Structure 1
């Protein structure tokens, strides 16, 4: 299993779409860093500070809202990247070839989903570290490091841990949907269609169900804070997301094990 996992991680990193997504993320980091450096005024009351960004309350400042938005984009990128890890295999017709080398289907799909999760989680941590490094000049030269105390670093560690787990989960979800749909775009279409259209309709018709919606639970786990209009704790939201992911993975395992892969 270890050898198969290493192979799948290498294959995931070699995907063109994965590399393109990483380049897009790097470009976004550069733009954000330049914007923070150019707009921060060290003499102003709202001078740029790292403590205003990686905090539980991502909606308390415009800087934090930007980083929170970037993190959600990382989740979407992980979804698409995870989908491409498997969807590209179907498009190229290499799934059948792979199964002649390793006929144990559950082992194969398990390795692919795990590899997608590992790659996505590690890339999230690397990109967040690069974002922190890119924003450092704005804080040191044109801002302030006030507030970067032990509580800040604990909050940062919690945010990174939750973000890495969410990113890995999104990659698994993308891979699972791509496996069932046999293509990459199926994952993005299903998830965005559900969040943007279905959940919006449900919020209007059934606002009392908001504790079960995907968007709300993602927000709770990523920020590490309860939402004002949602009766759900962070562990509770994580449990809901884990349950949803488990259902998708279970369906994927059954489908992949039983159907013709050609």
Structure 2
């Protein structure tokens, strides 16, 4: 298994894609951290709170600042997961991979482990940018950059989140063989379909109270524990560990179904 994992890591880090994604992760983390640190440390007036502007405790503010670029991060992790298998189908290298390692289960297991490691590495890169920039701005504006240990927990969980989103991408890459279609559909769901669905569900009491919290991005936000919108229609988010199980379930189902399909399908 270790040689197979090493091979998967070598495939990824031998291309020019890895440093481009790393740079995007770092800059997105730093950029969002600076913007959110400025916005969230502004003194909120009663009128602003009543209007539903984001508010929160010092811990929630710090969490939001350091994980503000999580949407960009999870999107890039999703792309990595899709490319990790989709590029092999597109360039017809999957046959050589399965010939080199005849046990397909071992190949797919190696891809899962490699994606978790890659997601963790890029999570660290993103956090280096967000913590360095965010903590500096928070300190300059008189806010405590690390109010308690819960902030450190959120930082650690963000690494898990990015790894799980990479596994979701792996499942999508297998279930949608066309790499371009898989990328367009998955990014469209993250940036367009799910936000619109979340907005629509807020007008349905059952959907607002029981469905919204189970959506992937809602679960992600609950895991890292950022600032919440104080509106009459806002539902209480799930606890971080339940949300982690929800996101893990998405990853397990998509990656699991994709793996079973790969094990049973003919590769030409």
Match of 1:213 among 212, 215, 225: 215
- Over the aligned positions, Cα root-mean-square deviation in angstroms equals 3.5
- After TM superposition, the score normalised by the length of structure 1 is 0.77
Structure 2 CA distance for aligned equivalents of residues 86 and 68 of structure 1: 28
CA distance 1:32–1:246, shift in 2 (3 Å): closer
Please list the CA deviations of residues 142-188 of structure 1 after superposition, one character each: whole Å capped at 9, or x if unmatched.
444x5245x43x12311111100000001111112112222443443
Alignment map for 1:44-193 (pairs within 5 Å): 56-58=59-61, 67-135=66-134, 138=137, 142-144=140-142, 147-148=144-145, 151-152=147-148, 154-193=149-188
Please list the CA deviations of residues 195-249 of structure 1 after superposition, one character each: whole Å capped at 9, or x if unmatched.
4226634625643422322222121112278885045222222222222221112
CA distance 1:260–1:163, shift in 2 (3 Å): same
Please list the CA deviations of residues 34-83 of structure 1 after superposition, one character each: whole Å capped at 9, or x if unmatched.
8799x89xxx979xxxxx9996524xxxx875644312211111111121
Structure 2 CA distance for aligned equivalents of residues 16 and 55 of structure 1: 39
Unaligned runs of 5+ residues in structure 2 are 45-54
- 8 Å CA contact 2:28–2:72 kept in 1: the answer is no
Unaligned runs of 5+ residues in structure 1 are 47-51
CA distance 1:84–1:232, shift in 2 (3 Å): same
> Which residue number corresponds to residue 21 of structure 1?
21
> Which residue number corresponds to residue 261 of structure 2?
255
What is the SS of the residue equivalent to 1:69?
coil
CA distance 1:55–1:72, shift in 2 (3 Å): farther
Structure 1 CA distance for aligned equivalents of residues 130 and 213 of structure 2: 31
What is the SS of the residue equivalent to 1:257?
helix
Q: Does 1:3 align with 2:34?
A: no
